[in-house]
Amino acid sequence: MSSIIFDEGPNPRHDARAAGWRGGVIPTHRGLRIMPHERGRQALSLILGPLFACAVTWTIRPLILPLWAFIEQFWCAHAAPRATVIRMPYALPWGLSLPVPVPDLGASGPSRAAWMISAVLVGVMLLLATLLRRRHLPLSLALFTLAAVFVVGAAGFTPLLAPFPYVIPGYIQSMLLMGLTLMFMTPLMLMVIYYPLDFSLGKKVILTLLALTWLAIFLPCQFCLQAFVISDLGLIALPSLFLLSGLLVDVMGLVALYAWGMSWRLRHE
């Protein structure tokens, strides 16, 4: 049975709240409306979340990790021919392990020249953020944020917080493992925020596959590029890359795909 919402007649208060400043009607966003649904179809769609999560778990070793190794080997061969891809085992319960592929690159701590260049860059960013006019406030806040992130990250190399505990292979392994966790959680999140809505079953499957494909391909490219940048600039670049271009970028991609999926036509439209 379908749940149907009947209008009770004109409501002046509601009409006033929904009227634009020119008198036009502003329709309620589809994300805030109660959409018609069939219980059997909704229950079937809610099963998709656990099914996709289990599928991700089953394909990590035979499919996802070999794909990541291939992508990293491709980029290493074209961007850093001297670099190799190694498989760092990550211990799991019951004596199991995951061979996570990572670029075998090294990087040193900041030299005196790197400290001087970093200080100049931070000073320039703060000066520009201070001199910009009020109408450029978003750009000023962005520059202040970049400077703050870099200063907080650089503090890890000072005597106050040193020694810096990360190297490139261990950092890339940790980020890829977090990416696997995000891939596992993505169908479960869609099960809560997208599957109950009145989209067809095929569209729910397509959106889930697009989200998982995005993560499966973008994650190794993203962190392989970060490994190259850290290897060239030194470990002082690692904290800033982690905070500004880590999993936040992947989540933003998922949000963009979800927004696109919300624009698709409903079954009852």
The amino acid at residue 65 is L
- 181 and 81 in a single domain? The answer is yes
- 181 and 257 in a single domain? The answer is yes
pTM score = 0.80
What percent of the chain shows pLDDT beyond 90? 40
Cα(251)–Cα(67) distance, rounded to whole angstroms?
21
DSSP code string of 120-135: HHHHHHHHHHHHS-GG
Structure tokens at 143: 């520059």
Residue 266 CA to its chain's centroid (Å)? 27
Residue 192 counted as domain residue = yes
- Among residues 18, 64, 23, 113, which one has the least CA distance to residue 213? 64
- 171 and 238 in a single domain? The answer is yes
Cα(199)–Cα(60) distance, rounded to whole angstroms?
29
- 117 and 235 in a single domain? The answer is no
pLDDT tens across 91-101, in order? 888 888 899 99
pLDDT tens across 110-140, in order? 777 778 888 898 899 899 888 888 888 888 9
Under a CB-based contact definition with an 8 Å cutoff, are residues 111 and 233 in contact?
no
- 150 and 172 in a single domain? The answer is no
- 67 and 142 in a single domain? The answer is no
Residue 2 counted as domain residue = no
Higher pLDDT, 190 or 11: 190
State the residue range of the domain holding 47: 41-97+166-262
Cα(257)–Cα(208) distance, rounded to whole angstroms?
9
The domain total for the chain is 2
Residue 21 counted as domain residue = no
pLDDT tens across 208-239, in order? 999 999 999 999 999 999 999 998 888 888 88
